[in-house]
Amino acid sequence: MRTTYHPHKGKARKVHGFLKRMSSPGGRNVIKRRRRKRRKRLTPS
């Protein structure tokens, strides 16, 4: 049996990336909130 966590950068980018966030109103709100909090990283990937 394999371990359960096998990260893939490409997949992470597709789901959590900046462009993906900007493509929907909800995602833009996420970016806006993180900018307001002065987060160093707006998106995890």
pLDDT at 45: 74
Domains of the chain, CATH where assigned: 9-45 (1.10.287.3980)
The pLDDT of residue 23? 98
**Which pLDDT score, from 0 to 100, does residue 20 have?**
96
Local confidence pLDDT in tens for the 45 residues of the chain:
999 999 999 999 999 999 999 999 999 999 999 999 999 999 997
- The tokens for 41 are 């990283």
pTM: 0.79
